Structure 1
Amino acid sequence: MLNKSFLTALLAGLFLSLVADVNAQAKTPVEILKPYKKYQAALQADNFEVARAAAEQAWQISEKLLGDVKLTGDLAFNYGSIIKGEIKKDQVKAVARSMELVEGYGPDSSLIYLERGIMHLTVLGHLDQSGRQMRAGEKLIAFAEANGLETSTFTAEALTMVAGLYANRGRNEKASAYAERAMAVFEAAGDGVVSVYPLQANLYRGYAYEGEDDHMAAALSYQAVMEATDGLDPEVYPLVGTTLGRWIYMRSALRAQGKLEEAEMQGVCKCWPYDKERNEDVLPIKRVPPVMPSFAQQSGYVVVEFDLTDDGKPTNKRVIAAWPDYFEKPALQSVKRWEYSPRTSEQTDEDRTDIVTTITFRLADSKGNVIW
C-alpha cells in the first residue's frame, strides 16, 4: 500500500512536475531568467494562472533565442505540465515539443521521453481529446516496448490510461486486457517510481467487469481501491468517492440478484456503511419511496446520513455517496417525509444521530429486467 500522506498528495493533484533548473544553466539569457523566476515564485504560491503565463513566456523566449536545445524542452515542459486551473490548448503542443528535445539527457533520453509522454496523455485528457489521447497512448506503449522499457512504471501508467479510454467507450474486453497488463507491469516495475495509477487500473478493470455484468468481480476490483485509500474522505478525493459509489452499486446489484451471501464468501466485504452497527431502538414508522426521475436511464443508489428530532423527524440530511448524482434530490425528498419512533427516556443524543440508509433506485426494461 502507498504511504498515506504521499497518496493523499497524489490524489489531490498537489505534486509538482520536474522543472528546469534554469539557474544552474550556463549563460542563460536574462530574458529567460526573469519570467522563469516569476514562474517559480507563482508555483510555490499556488498561483497557477500566473505561473502558467510566466512559464509560457520563458519557453517562447527560449525558442527565439536558443532554439532546439535541452533548456527549451525543459521550459516547454514546465509550461505544458501545469494542469491546475484553466488548461490552455497549446500546452499539448508544449509537452510534445519537450518530448522532441530529450536528446540532451543522454542515456536517460528514452525514459524522459516516456515520462513526458505520460504528461502529454494527461493534458489531452484534461482537454477531453479522447481520440488523440487514445492514439498517443498506443504510440507511447509501442515506444516503451521498442526501447526496452516494458517494465517501467511509466509504461504501466500509459497502459492504465488506455484502459480507461476503452472502458469509457464500452470496449470492456480491451479495457480489462489493458488494465491487467498495467497491473502486471506495476508488479514487475523496480524503478522506485511511486504512482497512483495502480488504483486507476483497478477502477478501470472494475468498469470492464461491470460492463460484462460480472458484478462480483467488479465489486472486488473496486474494493481493492477502497482498501488502498482507506481513511481518505470520498467527498474530498473524487477517485475515492467514485470507487465507493461503484462498490456500493455492485453490492446492491448482488443483493437484488440473491448473490450477496456468495459474494461475501468470495471476499466482498461488509464495509462502510454496511458495517455500521444498527440501532434497533430507532424504528422506522413511515417510509415514503422515492420518485424515479423520468429521464433516468439506469438503476442507481444514494447513501443518506441524517439525524432524528425527538419526535422522529429526519433532520440534517446529507448525501454521502450517490450514483448517478441525479438521484440525490429525489432521495433527500423521500427521506424528508420519513418518520421514526419518538425519543425514549433511555436514548442519548448519540442514539439519534448519524443514521445511515441506502436508497436504491431500480429501473427495469420492458421485460422486467433491472437495468444496472
Structure 2
Amino acid sequence: MRRSILGITTLLLSCMSIAPAFAAEEKTPEPLQQPAPPLGMYLHCVAPDAIPEDGYVGSVDVAYGLTRTGRTIDLEVSSSTDPCLEDSATKMVGLWIYNPRSIPKPKRGAPLQMNATLKYQLFDENEANKEEYLIRLREAIIVRRKTGNDAVPERRKPPALNDFRDCIRSADFRLERVVVAFDVSPEGKPVNTRILGSSSKCFEKAAIRSVERWTYAPRMIDGKPAAHTDITSSIEFQIGER
C-alpha cells in the first residue's frame, strides 16, 4: 500500500461513540462509517521540532445530535487537549453516517444526544523505519506551515441524475451521503479520488463522477502551480420529499 505523509493512511484515529442509556432491548447506534480526518487537516497543529515520540497528538470530545435520518447536527466540542484539533474533529463527526433504522425514536421528536471521543495518533509507537518517517513528517509540517492547504472549488457540479437513477426505487424520502477524499493536481483537477464512507454503495459512483467534474483555482508556490492534498467533501443525495 502506498504510504503518503499527507494521506489518510498515516493517521490512526480512535473513535468511541457514547450514547445515553437505552432500554435493554435497544442498541446504541453506531456509525456506518467513521472516516478519520486526513493528516493534512491538522498537520499545522504539530510543531516540526516537537513531534511526540509516541505519535500521540491529543484528543477531542464532541457532543452532537442525531436525527432520525441518520445525520449528525448541532456539533459542539465539550473538551479537548488542543484547541487546534477541534475544527478537524467537528468536521469529520459531521460526516459520519448512521443507518436510520438503528436510531431509537427520540422523546418528543428531539434529536438523540450523542458524544464521541476522537484520539489523534500520528503513527504507531512500534512504527518500522520510524526515524525516516519522522524526517519526512517534519519536512511535510514545515512545507504545510509555509503554504497552507485551503482549497475551494471554482466550479462545483452536483451529481448527475443519470449517474444514480438506478438507485431510486421509490418516491419515498431518502437522504443518502457519500464521503469522498481526493487531491487536486497543479492544473486544478481532482485526482486520486477515493471513498471514505457512504450510506449506500449504489451512490458512490455518482459521487466520484461529480467530484471529478469540479475545478479548482491553481495553487501557486514560489510562482509555480502546486497540488492540493487531502481534501474531504460530503456529497448528499436527497430523494423524494419529506
State the TM bucket, normalised to the shorter chain.
0.3 to 0.5
Of Structure 1 and Structure 2, which has the larger fraction of its residues in strand? 2
Structure holding more helix per residue: 1
**TM-score, with structure 1 as normaliser:** 0.27
TM-score, L = length of structure 2: 0.40
Quick one: higher RCO (CA 8 Å, sep 6+), 1 or 2? 2
